[in-house]
């Protein structure tokens, strides 16, 4: 039995490579961005407000751990999540940490600020069928183009004040962005309500919605 110990240790050390890849807030932010769609190193560096060199280093670690894939396009490298299982793993880590660690909840409150009223997926689908709501995607254009809720309108949060007139006043606006810890949907609801509009945010974001769509399609 003693001879098997090194092999067993090597097994768990191999598994730990993926765990270690999660042990960096910068890498987690990059995974959260890639959950919205593939991007180049330069785009990821800009979105995460870090140098291209640092972003590239973190992406290489994520790639070595099997969490992201990469493809060269000319002189650029485009990264993407390695699969839907990686997306599920990232969301499970995020949600479980929020449920189990009080510090995550406190940090989320500090980051998001004043709470806003939310709507869940089931209710939103009912409202969409009745066509009495406007679903508003406030993420950047490139994220909307990579994937979005069918029928949603795209107005990036930085453009919302100037484009309010594009939204009908007679219907409630449901804003969504990257997920429950994404501040853009929060800000959108505050702006809309300050302008006298009826607005709520979706409890989840595009990645969760996308996974549910895939699960439901697989059951058909």
- Write out the catalytic residue numbers: 177
Backbone angles phi, psi at 174, to 5 degrees: -110, 110
Partnered with residue 78 across adjacent β-strands are: 40, 71
From first CA to last CA, the distance across the chain in angstroms is 48
Quickly list DSSP for 83-100: -HHHHHHHHHHHHHHHHH
Q: Are 40 and 59 in contact (CB under 8 A)?
A: no
Q: Quote the CA–CA distance of 18 and 183 in Å, as a whole number.
A: 28
């Amino acid at each position: 039995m003693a001879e098997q110990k090194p092999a067993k240790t090597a097994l768990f050390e191999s598994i730990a490579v993926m765990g270690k890849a999660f042990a960096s807030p910068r890498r987690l932010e990059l995974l959260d961005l890639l959950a919205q769609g593939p991007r180049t190193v330069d785009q990821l560096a800009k979105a995460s407000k870090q140098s291209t060199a640092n972003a590239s280093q973190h992406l290489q670690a994520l790639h070595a751990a099997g969490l992201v894939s990469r493809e060269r396009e000319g002189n650029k490298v485009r990264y993407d999540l390695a699969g839907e299982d990686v997306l599920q793993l990232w969301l499970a880590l995020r949600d479980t940490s929020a449920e189990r660690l009080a510090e995550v909840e406190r940090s989320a409150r500090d980051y998001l600020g004043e709470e806003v009223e939310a709507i869940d997926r089931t209710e939103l689908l009912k409202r969409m069928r009745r066509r009495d709501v406007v679903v508003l995607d406030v993420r950047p254009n490139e994220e909307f183009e990579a994937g979005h809720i069918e029928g949603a309108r795209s107005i990036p949060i930085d453009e919302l004040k100037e484009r309010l007139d594009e939204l009908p006043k007679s219907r409630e606006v449901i804003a969504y962005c990257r997920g429950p810890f994404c501040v853009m949907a929060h800000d959108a609801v505050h702006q809309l309500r300050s302008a006298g509009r009826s607005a709520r945010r979706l409890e989840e974001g595009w990645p969760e919605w996308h996974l549910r769509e895939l699960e439901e399609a697989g059951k058909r």
